[in-house]
Amino acid sequence: MRQPREVERLYIDCDGFFAAVEQQAHPHLRGKPVGVVPFKDARHTCVIACSREAKLRGVKNVMSMEEARELCPDIIFVPQSPDLYRRAHKNLLSEISAVIPVDAVKSIDELTCRVSPAEQSDPHTLGLKIKKRIADNIGPFITCSIGFAANRQLAKMACKIGKPNGNLIWHPKDMPGPLLRLTLRDIPGVGARMEQNLIDAGIATMADLLATQPKHMRKLWGNVTGERLWYALHGYDVQTPPSGRGMYGHGRVLPPDHRTAQHVKSASRLLLVKAARRMRRDGWNAGRLWLWLELMGSGSVHRDAWLPAVHDDQAVLSALERLWSDVELKLPRSARILRLGVTLLELTRASERQLDILLDDDKQRRRCEDATTAIDALNRKYGRTLVSFGPWTPPPGGYAGGKISYTRIPRAEDFW
């Protein structure tokens, strides 16, 4: 495995991205503490992102609105705008690509690039060039931290340490000096439980971790991730294999006046159709449907149903109806449903599907698939959900199925 002698990777992470985009788009928010929340008029939810001004007052992501208000009484809460963040993300990719090719997009506000041999001698200037391009062509309120190192793992750690608005370089000749000043929790992916496992194994500092052996790291992590981390921390050019697609799904927290079975069932239909659209777009079929409901104060309910390798709306909605028939029989009338999730699992390539001769589903399945294809074409033509199987009633708050997660950046059609 190769051990680079020069800086070969950079990692970019935008600072408080959602809140920064809101400040850039809305001048009245600039310079003020801002907290982004899931819904308009929300009262008892958590802050999903906060501005630098709010962070300086002690506000943190995933903090309750009540706690945020106690720390920062003048904080301004704004509802999330996922489509705005998606468009800002596209603009960022365009501007950064004008300076350096983007190697991999890691999330809505994180990406990594390979540093060309011509730029390895002066990474600091390269970082300033990227920052200037963003400030000039997108706006000065969207800032980013950049980390430079021999590999992606170290560049990401340098980026994190350099926040906010950093431009930190960890040159291979200076390593492992910068690492020795860090704690175990500064390693991405090491949380409280993993830290305690390491301490129990006699590893309490970064120096202790670097002194271990690769196979010991594999044993501590329980898989090859630990061994890869060892090589990455020691400056090797580690290439992580791409992960495969395992599921398509959506979840939703329901507002207080929509926590009845009737409202939740309607929301689950919409979320399932949106998940099926994404799945069809990527060329997959599903072999199982999973429905999950979190009840207020009384645990959760989950059901799953087998599917004959399908992707059309009629098939997945029929399976969902069967699951709800069972759930409604056993759900107390007074049950309040806080959150729901629908997931399509056991994926196979649509091009490789074999029809089940015992179900005699050839003619019927193809007819349903043709109808779904026609509906998708109409909706795509008009840029909205014009036609659907059954009612189409989005729950309050908007952006159902268009939520931005760490692993998925929505497309424009996810907001139809």
Closest CA to 339 of 290, 296, 403, 391: 296
Task: Name the catalytic one among 22, 110, 119, 369.
Answer: 110
> Has residue 4 got a pLDDT over 70?
yes
At residue 401 the predicted structure's pLDDT band, cuts being 50, 70 and 90, is low
Q: In CATH, what number does 9-14+85-233 get?
A: 3.30.70.270
What pLDDT was estimated at residue 354? 66
Please check whether residue 68 is in contact with residue 51, taking contact to mean a CB–CB distance below 8 angstroms. Answer: no
What pLDDT was estimated at residue 356? 59
90 sits in which H/E element: helix 82-97
What pLDDT was estimated at residue 156? 96
Q: Report pLDDT digits (tens) over 291-317.
A: 999 998 778 899 999 998 899 999 999
As a whole number, mean pLDDT of residues 377-392 equals 87
> What are the domain boundaries of the chain?
9-14+85-233, 17-81, 248-415
Name the percent of the chain lying above pLDDT 90. 68
Please check whether residue 130 is in contact with residue 145, taking contact to mean a CB–CB distance below 8 angstroms. Answer: no
Quickly list DSSP for 170-238.
Answer: --GGGTTHHHHTS-GGGSTT--HHHHHHHHHTT--SHHHHHTS-HHHHHHHHTSHHHHHHHHHHTT---
What pLDDT was estimated at residue 350? 86
Please check whether residue 9 is in contact with residue 113, taking contact to mean a CB–CB distance below 8 angstroms. Answer: yes
β partners of residue 305: 289
Q: Report pLDDT digits (tens) over 239-291.
A: 877 666 789 999 888 888 888 989 999 999 999 999 999 999 999 999 999 99
Closest CA to 72 of 52, 48, 89: 52
What pLDDT was estimated at residue 137? 96
As a whole number, mean pLDDT of residues 155-176 equals 95
Quickly list DSSP for 30-93.
Answer: TTS-EEEESSTT--SSB-SEE-HHHHTTT--TT-BHHHHHHH-TT-EEEE--HHHHHHHHHHHH
Per CATH, domain 248-415 is 3.30.1490.100: yes
β partners of residue 348: 285
As a whole number, mean pLDDT of residues 394-413 equals 70
What pLDDT was estimated at residue 406? 57
Spell out a b/e string for 62-78, using b for 16 or more CB atoms within 10 Å of the CB, else e: ebebeebbeebeebbbb
Please compute Rg for the chain using Cα positions: 24
Distance from the Cα of residue 268 to its chain's centroid: 20
Residue spans of alpha helices (H) in 287-361 = 313-330
Mean pLDDT of the chain: 90
Determine whether 369 is an active site residue: no
Euclidean distance between CA atoms 205 and 16, whole angstroms: 29
Full-model pTM: 0.80
Euclidean distance between CA atoms 47 and 291, whole angstroms: 26
What pLDDT was estimated at residue 360? 60
What pLDDT was estimated at residue 355? 60
Give how far Cα 280 sits from Cα of 38, 145, 319, 351, 394, Å: 28, 36, 17, 11, 21
As a whole number, mean pLDDT of residues 163-167 equals 94
SS3 sequence of 261-289: HHHHHHHHHHHHHHHHHHHHHCCEEEEEE
**Between residues 169 and 239, the one the model is more confident about:** 169
What pLDDT was estimated at residue 365? 77
**Between residues 205 and 366, the one the model is more confident about:** 205
What pLDDT was estimated at residue 124? 97
Range 17-81: architecture per CATH:
3-Layer(aba) Sandwich (3.40)
What pLDDT was estimated at residue 386? 87
At residue 413 the predicted structure's pLDDT band, cuts being 50, 70 and 90, is confident
Q: Report pLDDT digits (tens) over 89-136.
A: 999 999 999 999 999 999 889 999 999 999 999 999 999 999 999 999
C-alpha angle 113-118-123 in degrees, rounded to nearest 5: 55
Q: Is beta strand 76-79 parallel, antiparallel or unpaired with respect to 34-37?
A: parallel
> Has residue 39 got a pLDDT over 90?
no
> Has residue 193 got a pLDDT over 80?
yes
**Between residues 399 and 49, the one the model is more confident about:** 49
> Has residue 398 got a pLDDT over 80?
no
In residues, how long is the chain? 416
What pLDDT was estimated at residue 402? 67
At residue 389 the predicted structure's pLDDT band, cuts being 50, 70 and 90, is confident
Q: Report pLDDT digits (tens) over 173-190.
A: 999 999 999 999 999 989
Reading the block at residue 397, the tokens are: 């708050």
| CA end-to-end span of the chain | 47
